[in-house]
Amino acid sequence: MPNLDLINKYLSQVHERSWITNNGPLVRELTSVLQDYLGVKNLILTANGTLALQLAYKALRIKGEALTTPFTFVATASSMKWQGITPRFCDIEPDTLGLCPQAVKEAFTPNTKAIVPVHVYGNPCNVEKFEDLSEDMKVPVIYDASHTFSIKYKGQSILNRGDASTISFHATKLFHTVEGGGIVFKDDEVFERARLMLNFGLGENAEDIVAPGINAKMSEVHAAYGLSVLHSIDEILSERAEVLSYYHQGLNGVVELPRWREGATQNAAYAPIIMDSENQCLKVLESLKKVGVVARRYFYPSLHHTSEYKSDWNDSCKNVTGIANRVICLPLYPGLEKHDVANIVEAVKEGCQ
């Protein structure tokens, strides 16, 4: 939670102006500040990360089928279905947990109109290979980059890769606007198209409808929270990195960790650990529960094992199934005390015995 006095400072500006939504001064300020901080351009702020995905698909005129991963939050796929796009699931790399480019290449058909990889836990996908596939197959790549706030890859923001990258500013993220999201577009023309769609398709003078539109814009109140959180973002990132380091030191040789993409920075958005088996996973969760710690099997079940997203492609996602059955995300937030981290580490060790 950001400093309350700071929130009130921004909210008093909103109250004094009586400008609560419709691209107000705070939304414009947050957009500008985030573009500078993240090192991006063509950033659009949205009401949430799901609408960011939907708007990206619409602006890039995606129809038909899209290849993606089932090891992700449901919004990656549900936003497709909501837009009339059929998600087709492909397997992941067993070490990085990102969408496997080779699996995508093998699954490609004439009906494939987009590739939607996910930077799982903020760990960048193999963006070079997806760029090659995009060029070879003549389809756009839209990254679900919900977990990647502040991540750089080879010195550049990971959000600059692909035709579009969407990010979530939900309250559970390390940077948040309570509810919110954003999209970074590579192409200026697509960016302008999306900017018009964001606000009902209204033209510049609001007297003409110039595009098919939706109400996906961020409000001034949400921007106020975002600006308040941003004041502490370096401290937040530092404290999260410290907690993650304690976990890695304490669990070295005890559990498996995803392999972080070489050349990418780490933002400590999540603390995933991978058990030897599902049985061990359940034992660790029980051990944590005994000491009052709630941990998540994130993402479990994988989407292709849920009622809505069962697919004929299940047999090709063996890595996903194996990982989803064995992964746990440990608590990670600024202010988590070192002795609490030590207790969590001991509980994990006990469950692994």
Residue of 246, 353, 320, 280 lying closest to 92 (CA atoms): 320
pLDDT of residue 118: 98
All residues at 6 or more sequence positions from 123 whose CB lies less than 8 Å from its CB, including other chains:
96, 97, 98, 258, 260, 261, 264
Mean pLDDT along residues 53-66: 97
Please state, rounded to an integer, the average pLDDT across all residues of the chain.
95
Task: Tell whether the model's pLDDT for residue 312 goes beyond 60.
Answer: no
pLDDT digits (tens, 9 = 90+) for 256-265: 999 999 999 9
pLDDT digits (tens, 9 = 90+) for 137-184: 999 999 999 999 999 999 999 999 999 999 999 999 999 999 999 999
Number of Cβ within 10 Å of residue 95's Cβ equals 16
Residue in 258, 268, 266 with CA at minimum distance from that of residue 326: 258
SS3 25: helix
Spatial contact of 337 and 273, defined as CB atoms under 8 Å apart: no
Tell me which of 211 and 130 has the higher pLDDT. Answer: 130
For residues 148 and 122, what is the distance between their CA atoms, to the nearest angstrom? 4
The pLDDT assigned to 59 comes to 97
pLDDT of residue 314: 57
- Tens-digit pLDDT profile for residues 180-203: 999 999 999 999 999 999 999 888
CB distance 229 to 2 below 8 Å:
yes
Residue range 84-89: mean pLDDT, rounded? 95
Total residues belonging to the chain: 353
- Beta strands in the chain, from DSSP E residues, in sequence order: 43-46, 65-68, 86-89, 112-116, 142-144, 152-153, 156-157, 164-168, 181-185, 272-274, 327-329
* SS3 state at 113: strand
